[in-house]
Amino acid sequence: MKDEFNSSLADSQATAVTPLTPEQFDTEAYADYAAGLDARCKAFWEAPSGVLVYRRMRVKEVFAGDCRDMEHSLHWQLGALKQSMKFKADIPNFLEPWYGLGTVASAYGFGYIWEKDLAPAVDGKFASTAELLAAPCKPVAETEIGRHTLDMVEYFLDKTKGRIPMSYCDVQSPLNTLSNIIDSNQFYMDFYLDPDSMKKAMDRTADLLIDFTRAQQRLIGDALAKPGHGFASSRTFDGLGMSDDTITMLSPDLYVDMAVPAMAKAGDAFGGTVFHSCGNWSDKKADIVAIKNIRMADGAFSKATDPGANPTEGFADTFAGTGVVLNARIVGDPELVESKVKELWKPGMKLIVVTYCETPEEQAEVYDRIHDICR
């Protein structure tokens, strides 16, 4: 397989599944399956090094138009959970109350724009960071988006009897949230022209994120799979997963000084920081590993996953011996996955390989190859 991005796909990491109603889904069978895999996850999390394989079941409808309908979203996700049991893996899939990227942004007064069959877009922007700080804000739980998300959590729990692993909603870092609601022409200038306001805005946004995440944590209880969303997650893992894609727009020193403190503040409230960015953040990998109390970092490592994927060079040396888990997403055939894992692995690493194999047979082959490499 040639390693290239297929731009004709609506979602390069998605799997086609058959939706199931709660009545059609065997909750107890999946609960037992997930509990068995969680034992492996616990051993890995507590060990200084090792490897796990996660066959992610990402359903494109859940992250597009059907996210608006919690019943439809649950049906798609239950179908994915059932299908996942056919694929050899170490980490169970989980439910997610996904309702777009604008959760914390809603605290600043912005709702959603809905286009047919698409994920929602945040409706509105501030002209500057100072304007944001001067504007009123309120707890996310008091917004329409926040209330819907909490209702979705309760609905999922009710329909699955609280027996199925469930993550937080999609958590955007303070940096990502602000970059979505401050005009880009001014946002990046404010890092230089108004750094004090930028730091205050980052810190305020972190507090809003912490408050709403605690509300979800209280509801989900023992079913909580961490770190959540696009990360391999388990009830035995820890940390708060945050999407921090705007990292690719900042220099390393600016990122560390201005953006990391607020993200780390949010992460520390939930057992540590867990980082994700799309694209190529390899120039900042040492800065990421150096974040205090960081637990995991996620990246794409094939162009079939992300056209701007990270090169594999240097990641093994950077992560080995640190205890920080590298969550490596690799879309590709067995040969491509094998070659990437050989480049990413060295003794002393904690590596999770995320696969997207099309058949259970191919997944079993890839699973065995990965574990053979990472002995």
| Residue 129 domain-assigned (yes or no) | yes
pTM of the model: 0.97
Question: Is the Cβ–Cβ distance between 182 and 194 less than 8 Å?
Answer: no
CATH (domain of 323):
3.20.20.210
pLDDT digits (tens, 9 = 90+) for 192-218: 999 999 999 999 999 999 999 999 999
| Residue 368 domain-assigned (yes or no) | yes
Strand partners, 243: 172, 276
Rounded CA gap, 155 and 48, in Å? 38
| Tens of each residue's pLDDT in the chain, 375 residues | 688 888 888 788 889 999 999 999 999 999 999 999 999 999 999 999 999 999 999 999 999 989 999 999 999 999 999 999 999 999 999 999 999 999 999 999 999 999 998 999 999 999 999 999 999 999 999 999 999 999 999 999 999 999 999 999 999 999 999 999 999 999 999 999 999 999 999 999 999 999 999 999 999 999 999 999 999 999 999 999 999 999 999 999 999 999 999 999 999 999 999 999 999 999 999 999 999 999 999 999 999 999 999 999 999 999 999 999 999 999 999 999 999 999 999 999 999 999 999 999 999 999 999 999 999
| Residue 167 domain-assigned (yes or no) | yes
CA distances from 33 to 22, 220, 224, 317, 355 (A): 17, 19, 16, 35, 19
Q: Which two tokens stand for residue 231?
A: 């990360």
DSSP 3-state assignment of 327?
Answer: strand
pLDDT of residue 1: 65
| Residue 10 domain-assigned (yes or no) | no
Q: Domain residues for 244?
A: 27-373
Question: Is the Cβ–Cβ distance between 312 and 302 less than 8 Å?
Answer: no
| Residue 19 domain-assigned (yes or no) | no
171-193: burial string, b at 16+ Cβ within 10 Å, e else = bbbbbbbbbbbbeeebbbebbee
| Residue 200 domain-assigned (yes or no) | yes
| Residue 40 domain-assigned (yes or no) | yes
pLDDT of residue 4: 86
DSSP summary character for residue 247 = G
Domain count within the chain: 1
| Residue 20 domain-assigned (yes or no) | no
pLDDT of residue 158: 98
pLDDT digits (tens, 9 = 90+) for 15-32: 999 999 999 999 999 999
Give the residue from 179, 174, 166 showing the smallest Cα distance to 228: 166
